[in-house]
């Protein structure tokens, strides 16, 4: 995949669209009737707890799995991706939570991992190390990432910095759609903020971003659309101007189920207080009676 030099799609153009997509593994329903839209210069957040179907959705978009029902469109063309390479060729780059990096290799080597440029021919062909160093430094700076030394092992960077390198790499190699799998899950508050800053930078560069997360606060900071998944089905789909952070958090936490649980807990607490208040004082214990007899 070559570096992206041509102008990207116009902002607002639909890049990826899933309509009523379902996926089954034998008798197990992993996804059913899920729809989402990813536009150039927009961030679509997919929220859900563990087991909600987020991983299955990622695998369909990334070309790892094929959907069993519904339609999957890329730039208006209905398609089925045969493998992750086909997704990359169509401009869909996925950055997984565990990151495909080699910790002991330098930053520049990881930036070009699997796509290393060379110079010379035949037996004189070799890696173009200088080009990779300079390109890595320039592309990171363009995304606002100022690394002191691109020769340092990528394993010495913080988790947030490694995520940012992966985002810059996807942008450089011509991604139109960037899928991010829980990029802030294992990070602290400060590092999460750094990553979200570069997620917004990718959006501002014209990419369509799919942000997978279980954190509604992070999603609401950068998101334009929100798709909520629950047990493989859609629990909600909202635009930013149609939902507040409090309501998004409430729906993410369980919505009506949470209200029912709250009422149930209140009833249990009130029942406990009533029982305690209405319990008459019992007769003196045997030991107290014995003491009285001894005194007499």
The CATH number that applies at residue 206 is 3.40.50.300
Q: Mean of the pLDDT values across residues 249-261?
A: 70
Q: Mean of the pLDDT values across residues 228-245?
A: 92
Check pLDDT > 50 for residue 99: yes
Residue 216 lies in a domain: yes
Residue 278 lies in a domain: no
| CA-CA-CA-CA dihedral for 12, 16, 21, 27, to nearest 10 | -140
What backbone torsions phi and psi does residue 77 show, to the nearest 5 degrees?
Answer: -105, 120
Residue 276 lies in a domain: no
Q: At 180, is the secondary structure helix, strand, or coil?
A: strand
Residue 24 lies in a domain: yes
Stretch (H or E) spanning 55: helix 54-61
pLDDT tens, residue by residue, 15-45: 999 999 999 998 888 999 999 999 999 999 9
What is the number of domains present in the chain?
Answer: 1
Ranked by mean pLDDT, the top range of 3-12, 91-100, 149-158 is: 149-158
Residue 293 lies in a domain: no
Residue 175 lies in a domain: yes
pTM over 0.85: no
pLDDT tens, residue by residue, 168-188: 898 898 899 999 999 888 788
How far apart are the C-alpha atoms of 112 and 240, rounded to whole Å?
36
Residue 51 lies in a domain: yes
Asked whether the CA dihedral 46, 51, 56, 59 is positive or negative, the reply is positive
Check pLDDT > 60 for residue 288: no
What local confidence, expressed as pLDDT, does residue 283 receive?
54
Tokens of 118: 């060379």
* Structural domain that includes position 170: 14-243
Query: CA nearest 223: which of 235, 241, 236?
Result: 241
């Amino acid at each position: 995949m070559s570096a992206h030099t041509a102008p990207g799609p116009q902002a607002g153009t639909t890049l990826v669209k899933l309509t009523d997509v379902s996926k089954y593994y034998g008798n197990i329903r992993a996804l059913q009737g899920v729809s989402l839209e990813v536009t150039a210069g927009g961030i679509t957040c997919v929220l859900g707890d563990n087991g909600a179907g987020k991983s299955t959705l990622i695998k369909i978009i990334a070309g790892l799995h094929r959907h069993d029902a519904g339609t999957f469109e890329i730039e208006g063309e209905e398609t089925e991706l045969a493998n992750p390479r086909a997704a990359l060729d169509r401009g869909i780059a996925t950055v997984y939570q565990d990151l495909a990096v080699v910790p002991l290799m330098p930053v520049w080597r990881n930036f070009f991992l699997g796509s290393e440029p060379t110079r010379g021919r035949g037996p004189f062909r070799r890696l173009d190390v200088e080009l990779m160093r300079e390109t890595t430094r320039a592309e990171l700076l363009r995304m606002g990432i100022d690394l002191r030394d691109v020769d340092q092992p990528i394993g010495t960077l913080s988790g947030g910095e490694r995520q940012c390198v992966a985002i810059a790499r996807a942008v450089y190699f011509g991604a139109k759609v960037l899928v991010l799998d829980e990029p802030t899950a294992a990070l602290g508050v400060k590092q999460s903020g750094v990553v979200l800053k570069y997620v917004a930078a990718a959006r501002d560069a014209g990419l369509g971003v799919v942000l997978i997360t279980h954190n509604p606060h992070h999603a609401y900071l950068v998101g334009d659309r929100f798709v909520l998944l629950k047990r493989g089905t859609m629990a909600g789909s909202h635009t930013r101007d149609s939902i507040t952070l409090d309501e998004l958090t409430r729906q993410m936490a369980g919505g009506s189920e949470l209200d029912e649980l709250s009422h149930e807990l209140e009833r249990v607490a009130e029942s406990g207080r009533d029982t305690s208040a209405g319990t008459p004082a019992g007769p003196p214990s045997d030991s107290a009676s014995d003491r009285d007899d001894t005194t007499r």
